[in-house]
A = this chain, B = another copy of it.
Amino acid sequence: MELQFKLKAYFKTGADPAPAKEAVTALFEEANNTLLTRGAPEGQGAKITEWKLGEDRIELVLESGRYVRVHDAVLRLKKVLVEALGKRYRIGIRGIEVESFIIQVPAERELRMLKVPYIKSMENIEGGIVLELEVGEAEMKNRVPDRILTLLEEKIDAARYGAKAEHWNLIWQREPMEHPFKEDPTQAMMKEGWLKRGASRGQWIHGPQSTKVFRTFEKIVFEELLEPLGYREMIFPKLVPWEVWMKSGHAKGVYPEIYYVCPPKTRDPEYWEDVADYYKVTHEVPTKLIKDKIGEPIGGMCYAQCPPFWMYVTGETLPNDGIPVKVFDRSGTSHRYESGGIHGIERVDEFHRIEIVWIGTKEEVIKCAEELHERYMHIFNEILDIEWRKAKVTPWFMAQEGLLGLAEGNVVGTTDYEACLPYRGENGEWLEFQNVSINGDKYPKGFNVKLQSGEELWSGCSGVGLERWAAVFLAQKGLDPESWPEEFRKRVGELPEGIRFL
């Protein structure tokens, strides 16, 4: 089966189009060879396969494949018809009415019915899927059929490859090291009174000792990486409204892991009096009643840390001598609704990260990433002295499409830094503790940021997860400062005393 679009529609006319019949005939014949193939590979494009005049309309059937899709084709036709019939025949085109809009998509497996607007019916047939859409002129202009096709093709691909699959290519690996310490560092920290579980799931309260370790990691990143490379500190917001995730692309799929934020419907104390009174009398918080009294979610707690930064530059043009823009943020927490069960600090719902962002031309962005890689290598080899490796990771669909990923010369994508956790044993899974991503033009495009010269802007980001660094460092080196590498001990100084209990 081939991908096929089929549109049955008519142009509403302001008068009987009969007098213009010859002109329409000529125009449609010409269009089939020019207007409706423009931009398509040779031999492809849309085609008017039937048409006839009515008293107040011009009816037609359009068919296409992937190029010059029928909704584009009908809009192109409208433009030339308005021109051709208006001037000479004084016949206005009042709009396009859709009678049926069918998409036929090849697929190897059956798919569940999509629960989205604009789909009138969806049928699994031999070799593919047939969709009937319910769209009008506005939706066609808005490219709704394209979005539905993309969605469908994503699902077909996901069914084929599995949604989570990732290509993983080792780039560099440090020589194996001896790790005499074999404990789970979280258990060890709890035993030593370095931290305690918080009241919410996947949340920790860090005592003075582990806080000192975190702050030392930060200091190392400032002194060895951010300052020498000229990154400037900013403060990114931590409540993220939908607008930001729509522009960053997260609105496409971040929902399962978000901690959603809802505002009170009003801050009038009278409105909340019954909730407060209920609590005072029962000593139970009436969460069901509260859910009724709060508004719909306006967004969520910080998830990826860099998207809210982009609102600072959205809609702006950067001067040629103002790039690369190199900034970072460490002003608050990130939150992810992780899978349940008890995890240590290597998997948490609430975590702390230094987020590093850079914007520039393609060359600049690649160079910034290289500089970061070099500084990280210095930190992990010479200061933390840990066993680690790095790998280029590419989601399956990118690799599949050959767009990005592993193709020779491609630079867009993420490099993960991973380290072994000796307590997991020799064949235990390594922990991703750090990444560096080159995001291509995704963010500058999504947030509409331009460069004075007109050259394309790219960006990159790198997240330093303090919990992950701690999980790796303490798993490999243990909690006793005596057995920590000299370069780290110099920087951490003396560990503060913890809070003691009887």
Contact = CB atoms under 8 A, between A and B. Distances in A.
Interface of A: 114-118, 144, 147-148, 150-151, 163, 196, 198-200, 203-208, 210-212, 214-215, 232-246, 251-253, 255-264, 266-269, 271-283, 285, 287-288, 290-291, 293-294, 296-299, 301, 308-309, 311-313, 316-319, 322, 325, 327, 331-333, 335, 337-339, 349-350, 352, 452, 496-497, 499-502
11 contacts: A117-B281, A150-B280, A151-B281, A198-B237, A212-B233, A252-B279, A255-B264, A316-B502, A318-B501, A331-B332, A332-B333
Given A281-B118, A290-B297, A502-B318, A233 B260 contact: no
A196 B196 CA distance: 37
A281 B148 contact: yes
Nearest to A143: B283
Contacts of A313: 499, 501
- Number of copies of this protein chain within its complex: 2
Nearest to A258: B264
Contact of A285 (B236, B246, B311, B350): B246
A501 B317 contact: yes
Contact of A242 (B245, B285, B350): B285
Given A150-B280, A200-B240, A252-B279, 20 more contacts: A114-B277, A117-B278, A200-B239, A200-B299, A204-B235, A205-B235, A205-B308, A207-B234, A208-B232, A233-B496, A260-B263, A260-B294, A261-B301, A287-B296, A291-B296, A313-B501, A317-B501, A318-B502, A319-B501, A322-B500
A467 B116 CA distance: 44
Given A208-B233, A257-B267, A312-B207, A280 B331 contact: no
Contact of A205 (B150, B206, B255, B309): B309
Nearest to A309: B205
A115 B267 contact: no
B296 A200 contact: no
Given A262-B291, A264-B256, A316-B502, A115 B350 contact: no
